[in-house]
Structure 1
Amino acid sequence: MQEQYVSTSQLCERYGRPDFIPREVFRQWIGKSRMNKLIEVDGVTAAGYIYRWENKGKPIKSRQNLYRPIDIIARARAKNHIVRPPKVERVRNTLASLEARYAELEAATTNMPHQINMHQLSSSLTDRRLLTAKEIVKNSGKTPHLTGVYFLIKDENVVYVGQSVNIISRVAAHVKQKDFDRFAFVPCDAQDLDVLESLYIHFLQPELNGLLNGDNGHHAPLSLPALIGYKRKSA
């Protein structure tokens, strides 16, 4: 049975160009010596890989003894052979990474006196050095979903009463809408929110809850008559 190969265009569309191959060279016809500086396939040089397929009677596509990286990579991928930069290039990349890391360490060493001063200042304020980002994240907790009735306060006066199953989030949403400088809350079960909120609105009559039309009462889920004689349902 004749062996079938996936076309180079199909393989490149499927896998794309390797990052270490320059875009302008990927489809360019080049000689073996230059190809050796770009590609290593299955542990051998590009020229050795080309020679291997010539000996098998299945030469890689060429033009006047010139080859394209795209064709060599396509053949390698069809055979699940590993394509990577030559060993020399890998060593160069490793050296470049080490040099970059050295530069980072050198910069960190240069900034160390400033960091020491910052830790000293933090210690004078909180009796402990500055926490690292990892320490802060480790010690953090999710914002609790507090359920209850909350009170927005301005200049020692309760100006608004509301309810929420997530008080922290709800109060934060009021920041751009209402004028207040702090808040307080009374926790309660979700089933009792309407009743408790109504009690506080009628009792405190906060100005931002507004007046009902034609009535002296304030906006509340339940009216005063509805609250009279109210009995909590058992759970």
Structure 2
Amino acid sequence: MTPDPGAVPADVPRAQGGGPTGLFVSFEGGDGVGKSTQVALLGHHLAARGREVVVTREPGGTPLGLELRQAILHGEDLDPRTEALLYAADRAHHVASLVRPALERGAVVLTDRYLDSSVAYQGTGRGLGADEVERLSLWAARGLLPHVTVLLDLDPAVGLARLTGDPDRLESAGADFHRRTRDAFLARAAQDPDRWLVLDASQPAEDLAAQVRARLAPLLEGDA
């Protein structure tokens, strides 16, 4: 049976009193919506208040992940199943070697993309099936889901127009592909509002950052 996508990860270690020792936050959305900016703003905010913050991304959060990122986004053409499996391999290594150890020692982990991107991009965008890709991703991550997922929602045409440099394989996948992935993100968020925070990414970056901080504040009560 597929785990409940909205459940707080059962295997994240718990501190005395029942609270999680760490906090796992993912940022999702299309290309060019400002995920990296929001990750950086939140990371600086939390670090200034005494929290250990681990900032990472998928793919590419580890040395092996950087190699996989190059292969997936800038290498030779891949069929959809190979692409999905490479993302899953990156995720398995990323969680085992970086994310889970950081959570176990009480850090806040902020990731630019996580398994919801695979479900949207490979499951829906590439047509592999959202349920199949979700099962693969959950298996790779041993069921680990973020406590909060921030979706920065924006018209794909606007987001792609913000990008500079040569587009990677996913950025150049076409307008229909990007519309499907946006719809997939919004559908997942609507099904699980306890985990997701959906924000209009056309707002100024500081306004978005304030809304993210407000959402996380109850989970960080009592922190330095």
Q: Give the TM-score category using the shorter length.
A: under 0.3
Which protein is bigger by CA-based radius of gyration? 1
Structure showing greater relative contact order (alpha-carbon pairs closer than 8 Å, 6 or more residues apart): 2
**TM (normalized to structure 2)?**
0.19
TM-score, structure 1 as length reference: 0.18
